[in-house]
Structure 1
Amino acid sequence: QTAQTQIQIIVRSNISFLFQINTNGFVALDAPPEEEAYLGKMPAGFKMISALLGDLDNSDGRGKVFFREDSSPDVLRRAGEHIRQAFPRDDSLKPHSAFVVTWVNMAAHGTSGRGDGLEVKRNTFQLVVVSTASSSCAILLYPRGGVQFLSTSVEGQTTLLEAGFNQGLVSSWFWSSKQGTYFKTTENETSISELTEKTNSGRRGVWVYEIGASSFFVGITPGMTVTPTYTSPETVAPSYPDQPETESPQSEPLQPKFTVPEPSEPRYTPVQPEYPVPDPVQPRYTNPDPVQPVPPRSQPQHPQIVVVDEDEDLDVNVFAYNLETCAHNRHKCSAFADCRDYSNGYCCHCRPGFYGNGKDCVAEGKPQRMSGKVNGRVFVGNSPSPIELRNNDLHSYVVANDGRAYVAISNIPKSVGPSLQPLSSLGGIIGWAFALQQPGYQNGFSLMGGVFSRQAEVIFQPGNERLSITQQFKGIDEHDHLVVSTELDGRLPEIPLGSSVQINPYKEIYQNNKNLITSSSNRDYTINSPDGTVETRSYQWRQTVTFQSCPHDEATMAAPSTQQLSVDQIFVMFDNGNQLIRYAMSNRIGSVHSTLPEENPCFTGRHGCDINAVCRPGDALQFTCQCAAGFTGDGRYCHGNTNSLTNVDEYVDECHQDLCHRDAFCSNTPGSFFCQCHPGFHGDGFQCRPASSAREKTPCERLRESAQTSASLFVPQCDEHGAFEPTQCHTSIGQCWCVDANGQEVPNTRTGPGNAPLCINQAVTPPPVGPTPRPDVRAIAPGTHLLFAQSGRIEHVPLDGYSIKKEEAKPLLHVPDRVVIAVAYDCVEKTVYWTDITGPSISRASLSGGDLQSPEGLAVDHVSRLLFWTDSMRDTVEVSQLDGSQRRVLFDTDLVNPRPIVTDAAYGRLYWADWDRDGPKIEMSNMDGTDRTVLVKDDLGLPNGLTFDPESQQLCWADAGTRKVECLDPHRRLRRPIVEGIQYPFALVSFGRRLYYTDWRREAVIAVDSHSKMETDEFLPQKRSRLYGITTTTTQCPQVYNYCSNNGGCSHLCLPRLGGFTCRCPDAAAATGQCVERNLNFR
């Protein structure tokens, strides 16, 4: 036979248990999958005990499987002797019930019917599961000569037999599931062959394991007596009718004594009264359906299902740990919790700075996320046909320190989308779970953690339509998202397409009774139809939430029995173009009584703390902001306290979850994201409404609006001004291409799935070279621009003299799904270079990053045509030609977190900063890597930004640690402060007497006069998010010269230095012998 054969038996004690006995040599307590899923692939995903697992066969009629539940005195005495011998120090293990399974003459699959005349090898073995008052034990018996083969063939590969215990997949409080206890008693051929000769119970061939709880052991505990208590084992011959006696081990296996007509049935020395003969298991090729318990004392309803009545308890949950102590269960607590023992058990408690039920803990003040799937059948209006929802994505985001919750559900058809708008609580339960807590009150997550069930019923008036909502919350997953599955079933009153819905603020009373929370409320909502009619309707809302709290700690049971959830600022919208339903609301949990006249800002949410901070109330209206665990800062602004720019895997692009309004920008930032309404709209980015003086729609916007009526049409992407984005993509065919200012495709730019072309906005290409000024006049060239990086964009803003022409800011480049860090400009070819850490890569048009890991700083020597960069993961400073060829590592020692790098082309110098928190420094070297020296090491914190002005010969830096901008003459080593008390600078560039830097906290470009040492201007981009690198584009190049302007006659790299240059080989060519290195000095 080719399929596994199994039998189900229901054992009735105080509770009914279902065993699944399998011909492949194991007993399962869960329904096993097909044998391809576990043979040779242990540990498996289901609960089982393996006596001798393999691809076994009983199709020839000789192989038999016998089983029984037995509590006879003789069997219990024999089992007790084995257990006491195995655990001589523990005489409290007294059996009160046993379950016996015997596999007799089992062959390896494919051997019993091969017809080659060779004797088929067969295995016989036995499993006894014994229940005691405090735990369970497993006794495995292998008669001498009973194990004749050690392996079976699985998928053409020889696979050893396996004996052991497997708990399967179990629920985890932090992960969705994990592999439970797994214990193998066999590892190789030797250990399998020794099963019949050795022991851990004092009797050869008998192996005993405690598989329940023990006050001394955790998990599976093997017997302790490994030396047999006898030297020459006596054997007891099992009696077979009309056949000679065969050898059996002295250990006297616990076996069924059956009287049967077949000669292959065993009858061993009697150890209990005789029982009727059950039919042996016959081959079956499909898994039987689960069997329901039958009434006591009824006869078997199926020849392969036996019901045994037994008054004694039978502990078949052999993996249960009966001792509820921290020693056994600490792993069930959150990583941010402590385990405490109580008189009757243990409880988990979140540590200070975290909240939850101890099994799920999250950082105070940190934004929380929920994700999951929505399924169901919903009727709309009088329609006789339901709308099917299948695995629709649900995403939610909560600003925990002020109670704002945002929810989006995708792929909602227009036939049901408008009618779902009144159901803000469909996703708003995360608002209650993380509601802003008033003193002495607890939100849902503080009470329950992340594992609970919710059942809600909605009754709509006046039509009496009913809808049920069932939600299962499954805890926090590996992405720190609360995972939920949602089922909808029922009927909704119809709301016309294009209607808007307004829901009035409401209050809801939550009643807490141990592990049950109930609430109900009446809610009004107003429908504004496209034809101008306005209608007010209502519905009744009732819900029940069930969860499991810790019963041993009285403090956890002392939560307020009655609390009031206040919900306001409710926004709902169905986005037909994107097939999204959106909900937003603010939530507070507190007393059912009137609020105090004055409330601390921490309890109202009007505190101004960073979204990654917790608000700490003080006296009266005083408060402080404290960054959440995992973040650092002053509380008003917090950032990740790890080198998040190098930990690319930590970036989660929440803009893909469609939480922002369709008329808003979404900007992803490390650990968070930001929404801002488009020009012509007002709101917070999650809710955007047209301004009264909205401008006329552009051709791109009109085309986008008309295309959104059909899912199959290409929908153009427009920027914040309504212009065509330079990069356009058609997601249904997986292609992207560049367009000009009129939206027409640029030839030869179309790319396939997984790639996007580099498209430059034709309308804002840097202006052409202007006239050369007189050498003795310090001119500010017209057409100079600032370029700065913001997520996946490089923005462009012109300078009028030193003034920023803010109203003319436009995007220059858009690189989707990238985080651009540094930007540099080649004034010769009018080319922009940038680094991104998500590639990671250095780019201009098609410059690939190779084995880059986290390229950060970037500098161009426009004279030598060289590109220099730092890599904070590889801890290197490197150089290449502008096309990316001839790459060479200049430095790979004494670097920890190198970031900014700049060049001095006239003197052939490099300058870079290393913001190593334990030893920040600014260094200098020649471009060929010689004369490396530390310029600054004192009074530095986080020198993020670095710039060099070739005219004044000033090296300046912006320090996010000391919050200063300073400058240094690198020749005379004269250091002078420029400004102090700045916020969090990231990058810096000099232009004339001005210094411009990007600031993460202010999310702005700030201008500073280096002469007056005063801040002179600030530019706030339309899209508010962190700004990264910054540089200038000029209409002319600085008038400087070095010895590598024509590559110096070098075969490969020409690297200039003070007084000469060096011909260097790239790393890839250094060992080929085709590259010559030489030094030339002219001083």
Structure 2
Amino acid sequence: MGTVQLLLVFLCSFSASLGVPREDLYPFGPSNGDKVLRKGDDVSSKEIPLDIDIGFFNKRHRSIFVNSNGHLSFVTELPRHKSDLILPRIGYEVIAVFLADIDTTTDESGNIYYRKEVANQQLLNRASRSIQQHFKNVNNFRAKMLFIATWDRVGYYDRQHDLVNTFQVVLATDGRDTFALFHYVDINWIQSWGKNAPLAPDVPAQAGFDAGDKRRGLTLPGSATKGATNFALWSNVNSPGVWMFHIGFTNGDNVKAADANSGQDKGDKADNTCASQASTCHSDAQCIDYNPGFCCKCVAPFFGNGKDCLEPGVPQRVNGIVTGTINGQQVGPTDLHSYIVTSDGRAYTAVSRIPPSIGYSMQSLAPVGGILGWLFAKPERPGSKNGYMVAGGRMNRTVTVRFQSTGDVLTVRQHFEGHNALNYMQMQTYINGTIPEIQEGQKVTIDDYNEEFRRISAGQMRSYSDRVYRLDGVAYRYSVDQTVVYEACEYEPQDTDSMKLGVSRNFVVYDPKEMIVRYALTNRVSPMASSDPCVSSGQICDENAACTPVGQQYQCRCKNGYQGNGITCEDIDECATGRDTCHPNARCYNTDGGHECRCEAGYVGDGRNCQKFSCNEVNNCDANAECVLDQDTNSYQCECNDGFSGDGLSCSGTEQPEINCQNCHVHAQCIFDVSGLFHRCQCHEGYTGDGKDCTRIQYEIGCNVVNNCDINAQCVPVEGVYQCRCNQGYYGDGQRCLPSNDCSVVNNCDVNAQCLYENGRYQCRCNSGYRGDGQTCQQANDCSVLSNCHPNARCIDVGGGSYQCRCALGYGGDGYTCTPEQCNVIDICDRNAQCVPDAILRRYVCQCREGYTGNGRTCTPSVMPCNQVNNCDPNADCLYESSTGAYRCICRQGYEGDGYACRPGANCRNNPNICDPNAACTLAGSDYVCLCNRGYRGDGKRCYASSAADSYLLYTQGMSIMQVPFNPSQREPGKQVLLIPGQTAIGIDVDCYERSIYWTDVSNRVIRQARLDGSDQKIVIKDLGSPEGVAVDWVSRNMYWSDSALDRIEVARLDGSYRKTLFKTGLVNPRGIAVDPARGNMYWADWNRREPKIEVANMDGTNRRIFVQDNLLLPNGLTMDYSSQQLCWGDAGTQRVECMRIDGVGRRTIYGLASYPFGLASTDTTIYWTDWETKTIPNIDKNGGRPNEALSLPVGGNGKLYGISVVRNQCPAGSNACARNNGGCRFLCLPTQYGGHTCACPDNVDENECNELLLKL
């Protein structure tokens, strides 16, 4: 009840925002042909097919989804509201009108309507006129289709309807250009308490666009802040509550706001007073009228510049990315994190992933984080202002650091983007230049210092200071010249011209193990006590210089981008001097006081960071070309259509549809007319006519006077006139001579070649798939045709028409077999090892750190080797293990344990009675196990009569779990096993021992269980965030699952008891999960779009390590192939299904053309997967080759296919130490490698209590 009261207080703390009159909305409702989205919380429509393409950024879409939480999406539905999805980097293609936790469950909480409109010409014309009015250069736009979605009087989670909102989105398209129109009628609430409160409360409503690439997007002013109440008051077309955007086709650029006022105006600027503009101030600020304008001022005790206000005493966090070059070495992109204790002005900054080669030297770069000290410095006296009080959270900073002893100069540029929806300040840092080299192990200390920040113009502050850092007691001087540019209120009286910043308790260190540079400093700010010599003296600085006080004197210093003595300053041409910050694939353009960077054609970015785009992202192909996938490079390229030649960006015709050149004059040639795409006769130079009748042009001056002959001709007298005549072996008019064996004259091309006009002449060119000079062509047998390179290699053009397989960077070999290079090239060392040079081997090797042993690729904590101290169990032997290069205790056959403690194994050799009468005791590997006889199924301890019908596939699809046989037919097509309304089933696995199903339900945040026939359904695990993958350990009777909202890997007993968290750090988006009970390993995929990987650990959570990290994009479904001891996975980004042995070698691509694989399952012979695009179950032999015919789906499912699992007629062979009597553990028995196990404590049980054994083994 307390939560609801708090919620209502917040929701009612602002009056309703009124915008578009309700009658001005585009007509909606069932009477206008609208469909109604079903009522409920977190609901999505089915995929809605469209009659005409909608352009969104650089893609075209023929379908769309309407989601109840105020947004439209492409490619997939996105029903569930998650508080951590922040525009514009949520990773999905989304149009958000009012992204919030909307709940329409009750009759009073409104409805959501939608339709596509192609027939109502009146509405189509209305949209076209609006777009033509507010966008330039679109006078010819005519809408052919509208998509209209309306949220009418909708409430908020959970089933609340005391406050409701009404808004609408209209998409108008002509098949290519698409525009979005947002209409807000009234905004009465902007935030619900949240499904995960109080751990993760909802952010305020968001509005904008997301390209899905974590790079491009746009948000409305106020999005994800309390300013969202102003969606209905503000506008970018001077009409409150109306917003218009050009969303596609944008040629690789971002969404574009309407041209009428570029999306910046918020209401009518004609009335520039608080009466109409107060809403532009922060919610904790007041609006103050001046003449002729207004300004915003934070209300005490909040501090800031009025646009941004913060609560005093609350620690601030800053996140950012650092990129650039230091001493010629590339830096980043890498992370910067800062934490500021505002109560005492202390700022802590850490820059990650900095290699030792520059990490120690970067200890001298405290100015990187120094700006945060100025921003949040503690004011010492009333009237003192820190940087945030002046500039707020949005500004640009440029710093030039000059080291006097070495002459090194480094420039730092920082862009502050304000606070995001999670209340973290965002900052981008660009570094370029050189710094003094500091040797490994040396530490830097920095003296206390003062510096003055002085306002040199409205919205610009300047500071110059001399500082000292010490190295081994030796002082080194350096200067810091910095300029801060921000948006100042032009009407506010300027009461602060300068401020003094005192910086003390400087601390800097580089940690080589973590590769992190850390800076810390304490900051105090106060007004300047003395008069300013730059004001009181008659300073004569250049207009492009700044005056800097030095005691009672002043000094003129040229501004950044200029050079000189300060009294005279000249522009620096950064482009000519090589001091620019442009990307290698960008052009530099000098400007007054700076320079601009613009990416080259074929690249996109801001000029300082340019990325090559492929034609599937931005279709820049010639009109006579197509964008196709190159299998050799696994990238999209433009290829000219048949009959055309070129690089795909520019194609010219090569077709020869009809050659009408049989009657060409002797002084004419047959040419191909590109403009008309036909052949015709053309007179040689020096002749005139139609090509079939050519007469010589009579020149008054012969070639003996003007040498106009071809290089293959001579100037000779003919009938008293000097004329050009071609040499022997050439033909022409003398001014232009071609070889006599030109294929247009003599058809001397190979049968597998064509005669093509290139570079001013006809030449023979071998057809695709053949190599040679055109006159002789042989069938190619290289990789460009055979596509036989290793997965970690590329097919490279080596010149001369030849292609070779070359291993990719980080791999070595002949191109057909590639293996990882040394560890200095690619990180292959264990986390407890380091890469060091080996003087004997003359190569870099992995070496375990002190306290660990192993081969460097695998390191384990050191123990005294048994060959030195015989500490093995009497039933164990001390054996040398080549994989680790050490001696280890290994239990003898028939015993199990870690070698130091061995007990009789729970196997049938010691006790034949544990096998079922219909089973046999069989040696499997190094252990004896029970295996059911042919015709029976089970784990060997319990066997049942089986049939072919006992093995089949199960997959999840929306609210259903479906069954399909391995060979579906009309008689046995499969069936729906169960359907639970409101659930979204994702991951699925089968308990082969008890013949039951376990699956995750992401909508209800639970894990469910049922029998194979769908009966006895029950919930076994509750209170989850977003459960994804689930894996059953049928031997130990445990289940493991991943949670992508809580970012955890957890385990529990199969009945849901004794729940334990194994991992809760280092996870971003954990998805698929698989277990190998016999070997004690577990595997999971982390769908982290920045650093995707598959990890492995012991099933008790120990020995965590990366299994696969290279060449992954969107790994998801995992499956263990127990028969061949390999892990297989699907990757929707690379569109591959791959496998690798559990020892980490033998990675191979099983299938490289999977459209969008999600779940994966395997039998002893075949790999199956679900596919979002084909909506079938493709499958292939586990050794690769041609895919088998995809399995058709039975009737009953709806929506996308997710998880898939195999129901086996008997469990895979293998056992572990937990199989017998729960391993003697009171709670959880978790298997580990080499037959060991761990008695683990549930999260809610005291550790001392749980480790008591019930049985002494």
TM-score per shorter chain, which class? Answer: 0.3 to 0.5
Compute the TM-score of the two structures, normalised by the length of structure 1: 0.33
Structure ranking higher on relative contact order (CA contacts 8 Å, 6+ apart): 1
Compute the TM-score of the two structures, normalised by the length of structure 2: 0.29
